[in-house]
Chains A and B, each alone.
Chain A
Amino acid sequence: GESVGLHLPTLSVQEGDNSIINCAYSNSASDYFIWYKQESGKGPQFIIDIRSNMDKRQGQRVTVLLNKTVKHLSLQIAATQPGDSAVYFCAEDEAGGTSYGKLTFGQGTILTVHP
């Protein structure tokens, strides 16, 4: 089936820099995309989501960009802090029919923020 993938498995940044985490998806029919953050020893936590009728959505210090032409999703974190160090997952809905809210997850990117 279709899958979601990430370009970079690891990303290291300095505190205060902006971080960009990328995600490629292959199902052009996907309607909903979501980013999760998973800290060590914890379950994934919601960061931000976006629907396919949008190109950009902003939250607190985070922005998600969706480029449907090239099927690319990115998460931008402004002024990255050590507390942002975690694994970040993108996920897409299982498009079409009765999906019951199933999501397909990417493999994750490890973000390390150096003080």
Chain B
Amino acid sequence: DVKVTQSSRYLVKRTGEKVFLECVQDMDHENMFWYRQDPGLGLRLIYFSYDVKMKEKGDIPEGYSVSREKKERFSLILESASTNQTSMYLCASSRGSTSSYEQYFGPGTRLTVT
């Protein structure tokens, strides 16, 4: 079974702190994604990566950056956390194949910025 793990289930950070969210997948997937999930807004794509060291902006990249130094690991960075970044963050991965676009999700990190 594909497994996507996220470093923390819950995080509480202060405004202005630099925050790192880590995601690891164990199925050698090419594509990895970071979403945030807010009530009534569904899943919104922040950034994605289709290969090591490659990254593309999603729909809401402002205030975030990412890093993919190894194929299995994709990190989301909040350079200076703000209260409006309080949210559920979900990481996902998928094969680099057009036969299926199924994304496998981690359990999520609930981040609170105070």
Binding site for B on A (CB under 8 A): 32, 34, 36, 41-46, 49, 89, 93, 99-103, 105-108
Do A100 and B106 touch (CB < 8 A)? no
Q: How far does the alpha carbon of A100 sit from the alpha carbon of B56 in the complex, in Å?
A: 10
Q: B105 contacts which chain A residues (CB < 8 A)?
A: 36, 43-45
Do A101 and B42 touch (CB < 8 A)? no
- What are 8 sample pairs from A and B whose C-beta atoms fall under 8 A apart? A36-B105, A43-B105, A43-B107, A49-B102, A101-B101, A106-B42, A107-B40, A108-B42
User: What's the interface size class on B, roughly?
Assistant: 20 to 34
Binding site for A on B (CB under 8 A): 4, 31, 33, 40-43, 45, 48, 50, 56, 58, 90, 92, 94-96, 100-108
Q: How far is the CB of B7 from chain A (nearest CB, A)?
A: 14
Q: How far is the CB of A49 from chain B (nearest CB, A)?
A: 6
Do B96 and A46 touch (CB < 8 A)? no
Residue B42 contacts which of A45, A100, A107 (CB distance < 8 angstroms)? A107
Residue A43 contacts which of B42, B94, B95, B108 (CB distance < 8 angstroms)? B108
Q: B50 contacts which chain A residues (CB < 8 A)?
A: 100-101
Q: How far is the CB of A44 from chain B (nearest CB, A)?
A: 5
Residue B103 contacts which of A42, A99, A101 (CB distance < 8 angstroms)? A101
